[in-house]
């Protein structure tokens, strides 16, 4: 895990709180570019809906891993490292 300063940790924690309000036990989490993931979902899983959260590239992996390890949420097969958006599939 990367070393973050106090301001960055506050940003990460604020985003984690925002995501935690939306996430459900059977949800999936991942990071991807918003237009690309929208197209992937239309072709592969049209019944699942995505909720997007804008995030800095350097924070995405830490946030996704927090939910995967701590909250035991499944990581999406569409996940990519260092992307501009975090998405939740419901």
Tell me if 18 is assigned to some domain.
yes
CA 55 and chain centroid, separation: 9
Give me the domain span that covers residue 60. Answer: 6-89
Taking the model in full, what pTM does it have?
0.89
Instruction: Give the span between the Cα atoms of 18 and 47, in whole angstroms.
Output: 24
**Residue at 49 is within a domain:** yes
Report whether 32 contacts 80 (CB < 8 A). Answer: yes
Q: Give the model's pLDDT for residue 47.
A: 87
Q: Is residue 82 part of a domain?
A: yes
- How many domains are contained in the chain? 1
Is residue 1 in a domain?
no
Cβ neighbours of residue 47 closer than 8 Å, sequence gap 6 or more: none
Tens digit of each residue's pLDDT (9 = 90 or more) over 12-71: 999 999 999 999 989 999 999 999 999 999 999 888 889 999 999 999 999 999 999 999
């Amino acid at each position: 895990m990367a070393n973050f300063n106090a301001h960055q940790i506050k940003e990460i924690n604020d985003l984690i709180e925002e995501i935690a309000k939306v996430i459900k036990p059977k949800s999936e989490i991942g990071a991807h570019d918003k237009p690309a993931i929208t197209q992937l979902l239309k072709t592969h899983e049209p019944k699942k809906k995505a909720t997007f959260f804008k995030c800095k590239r350097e924070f995405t992996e830490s946030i996704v891993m927090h939910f995967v390890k701590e909250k035991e949420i499944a990581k999406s097969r569409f996940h990519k490292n260092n992307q501009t958006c975090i998405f939740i599939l419901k």
